[in-house]
Amino acid sequence: MGVRVGVLSLQGDVSEHISAFRRTLVSMGDDTGCVVAVRHAKEIPLLDALAIPGGESTTISRLIDKNSMRNAIERFDGGIFATCAGMVLLAREVDDTRVRPLGLMDMEVARNAFGRQRESFEAIIPVKGLEDPYHAIFIRAPVATATGAAAEPLASIDAGIVAIREGRHMAFSFHPELTPDIRLHRMFLKNLGI
């Protein structure tokens, strides 16, 4: 296989994403693949997949521009796996003008849809494509409030859409990298034909 997964390493829970994708590659029998921290635009075209981690979306948005990475991410032809702040960044439209989204998924996102850190929670949710429900961890989470025709919602709760797929990209308002459950990582890589 030899899959090369990069994790955008500007801010956020980078090490957790690296660990989760390494476990996933091992579980899929890919002993030649690798997961790398990505800090420079020139590294992005060399990848098969890119993870954009949770963190602070306004900060990550500014750092993408400060490090001249926006064009490389927007032109990336691999798949993007985005969690929490990453979901905000992939959106077409965000309810906060301080975030300059990448516009790679046809969705409108409400940033911090559940309030502050103390409103963080866990929930067992059904996810399209998974046989059993998923234990999701929501930390100052966003939700998608609207989607275009090409975007496929995979999971919703009362507040809105919390998992979505469009083409090669998948976005989650929760944090799959913080659980031992790698089913969503496997789904993402299989969606890429890996």
Q: pLDDT digit string (tens) for 121-134? A: 999 999 999 999 99
Beta strands in the chain, from DSSP E residues, in sequence order: 4-8, 34-38, 49-52, 79-83, 93-94, 107-110, 121-125, 134-138, 143-147, 152-157, 160-166, 169-172
What's the whole-model pTM score?
Answer: 0.95
Mind listing the domains of the chain with CATH numbers?
A: 4-191 (3.40.50.880)
Percent of the chain's residues with pLDDT above 90: 82
Catalytic residue status for 40 = no
Q: Which two tokens stand for residue 155?
A: 């999971």
Looking at per-residue pLDDT, the higher value among 96 and 63 belongs to 63
78 touches 34 (CB < 8 A): no
The predicted structure's pLDDT at residue 32: 87
Q: Which two tokens stand for residue 83?
A: 């969690």
**SS3 at position 83:** strand
At 145-169, the pLDDT tens digits run 999 999 999 999 999 999 999 999 9
Give the side-chain half-sphere CA count within 13 A for 54: 21
Is it the case that residue 117 has pLDDT exceeding 80? Answer: no
Catalytic residue status for 175 = yes
Find the catalytic residue in 84, 166, 169, 185. 84
At 26-75, the pLDDT tens digits run 999 988 899 999 999 999 999 999 999 988 899 999 999 999 999 999 99
